[in-house]
Amino acid sequence: MTRLISWNVNGVRSAHSKGLLGWLDTERPDILCLQETKADPDQLPKELLAPVDSDGRPYRAYWASAKKRGYSGVAIWSREEPRSVSFMGVPEFDDEGRTLVADFGGFTLVSAYFPNSQDAGARLPYKLGYCAAMKETLDGLVAKGRRVLVCGDFNIAHKSIDLARPKENEGNPGYLPEERAWMDSFIASGYVDTFRMFDPSPEKYSWWSYRMRAREKNVGWRIDYHCVDSGLAPKVKAAAILDQVQGSDHCPVSVTLDI
């Protein structure tokens, strides 16, 4: 079995100061994908560049950083060395450090930090452009016979069940009609939201505002996903939201594959 965890840490240095490596040593996933790292590797201490658990077992760390320092960024920490690691290959998105693509043989993993469409949809065209480029990337891999898993912060609550107050948020970024329509088309085209394979219940969220005691009240959004192509779906054996884990305004989400 291969267990993967994805987590928007809202700053990897901040998460480190809040116990990221201790949590990692307890969870010990085979692969950890991080989003919104907000750091270049040259800004990080050795223990984040080459994480090692308390038994001395290392993780290999791979980074995609934004040209704008302290902004965006994703990473993959893996026990196994991938066959290859690359960016999306689209400069306007790679310049913001939004994507890593890692070939693990049995499947290709994409760690992604989808853009926020921002107030009044100020960055909605950029967001939808990224969504289209992501689907093109995944479709291209599937067309070559690859099984794919894309994980990370999609910055989209897909259905009304995926946020606490859907009516009040219909005009807000992350729940705009255009974003939900893209997610509809993405799922309809053959990709599977792994969490919903196992849990159809409401009030399951992965992000909460820092304001108004939202996390304490569970007034949240489910915007962090592991999605697989339909060919990989039979290999998915479990999926969960680790909503008791602190350290960010997001919590980690996990998936287990029989690979």
CATH (domain of 34): 3.60.10.10
Q: How buried is 61 (Cβ within 10 angstroms: 0-12 exposed, 13-18 middle, 19+ buried)?
A: middle
Domain range for 249 is 2-257
Nearest to 113 by CA among 61, 73, 86, 148: 73
Cα 100 from Cα 50, distance rounded (Å): 18
Cα 162 from Cα 175, distance rounded (Å): 10
| Per-residue confidence (pLDDT) for residue 180, from 0 to 100 | 98
Q: Is 40 a catalytic residue?
A: no
| Per-residue confidence (pLDDT) for residue 254, from 0 to 100 | 98
Mean residue pLDDT across the chain = 97
Cα 8 from Cα 124, distance rounded (Å): 21
Query: Is residue 259 pLDDT above 90, yes or no?
Result: no
- Give the count of domains, the chain: 1
Tell me: the pLDDT tens digits for 171-223?
999 999 999 999 999 999 999 999 999 999 999 999 999 998 999 999 999 99
Nearest to 32 by CA among 10, 65, 54, 2: 2
Cα 178 from Cα 9, distance rounded (Å): 26
3-class DSSP state of 181: helix
Mean pLDDT within 50-79: 95
State the catalytic residue, choosing from 153, 193, 224, 229: 153
Answer yes or no: are the C-beta atoms of 74 and 152 closer than 8 Å: yes
Tell me: the pLDDT tens digits for 130-156?
999 999 999 999 999 999 999 999 999
